Amino acid sequence: MRTVITGGAGFVGSHLCERFLAEGHEVICLDNLLTGHRRNIAHLLDNPKFSFLEHNISEPVQIDGAVDNILHFASPASPADYLAHPIPTLKVGALGTHNALGLAKAKGARLLLASTSEVYGDPDVHPQREDYWGNVNPIGPRGCYDEAKRFAEAITMAYHRYHGVKTRIVRIFNTYGPRMRLNDGRVLPALMGQVLRGEPMTVFGKGDQTRSFCYVTDLVDGIYRLLNCDFSEPVNIGNPSEITVLELAKEILAMVPGTKSVIEYRDLPQDDPKRRRPDITRAQTLLGWNPTIDRADGLRRTLEYFKGVL
């Protein structure tokens, strides 16, 4: 099997490269390194089944030879990144997805789109099921990411229905683990970086907004299963264990005895979702998938990684 992974030098993408190599695939990693980094794939470069192509998928791409699978994961994915790069975020959701689908059509390949729980916006339905259409502000500061992903889902379904392309859509909920960037703006690495440096831990609002955190290897396993399942509509992959941001901050604080960090409250950002928890019934039923890494274990592994980074 020959698999192309766009955004393959990013956090999730690099773990996907590892998994598909372990499954015996030849992997072509494509990334323009806007938010990804070569260090995430440095340990793979000597593998004869792995190749890296520095390219922006928002521009047309040509891959020589057969391609069996395309996993489209190229996109800024954290608020800090897509607020800093709103136009590239919109382009990769629209033009990048179009180019990836065109390649899949030309090669007769399966395409799996990385969508996001952000398509649900600030949800009125809890937990979020795949048949919920969402509550998104299209012109707010987060709209560049939310609407890029919603468009990406729409064009993916259009290529499936009109051209018969074999497509899959994964809606990814909050994911964490090694190779996250400490400065990517997401709540978990931000809190861990602050506590390791002995800085105030910033909690927005009262900290009563909730998140559900899935360890990266669990996510990758769900994605692998979805690619090999004959189902074209979106599937949530995430850990339904829900926690408030304040509770998360206190858990992380307790993991670093003797730190000088204290919790500091800031104003809540515009359009920040108040509750986030996946309904994973579809993944359980179709894929036989459940997360296996509990939060205490996952946080410990991630904190150890960040200690090495610092």
In this structure, what token pair is assigned to residue 300?
């410990």
User: How many residues comprise the chain?
Assistant: 310
User: E strands along the chain, which residues?
Assistant: 2-6, 26-31, 50-54, 69-72, 110-116, 167-172, 175-176, 201-204, 210-212, 214-215, 234-237, 242-244, 263-266
State in Å, rounded, how far the first CA of the chain is from the last one. 38
**236: phi then psi, degrees, rounded to nearest 5:** -70, 135
Dihedral over Cα of 145, 149, 154, 159: its sign: positive
Closest CA to 184 of 56, 35, 40, 9: 35
Catalytic, 82? Answer no
Please answer whether residues 101 and 155 qualify as being in contact, where contact means their C-beta atoms are separated by less than 8 angstroms. yes
Using DSSP, state whether 55 is helix, strand or coil.
coil
Q: Decide if 81 contacts 123 (C-beta within 8 A).
A: no
Distance CA 237, CA 12 (A): 13
Nearest by Cα to 231 from 146, 151, 171: 171
Which amino acid would we find at residue 201? M
**Whole-number Å distance between alpha carbons of 157 and 241:** 30
Identify the active-site residue in 82, 120, 145, 215.
145
CA distance linking residue 253 with residue 20, whole number of Å: 35
Q: In whole angstroms, what is the distance from residue 46 CA to residue 38 CA?
A: 13
Q: Residues with catalytic annotation? A: 145
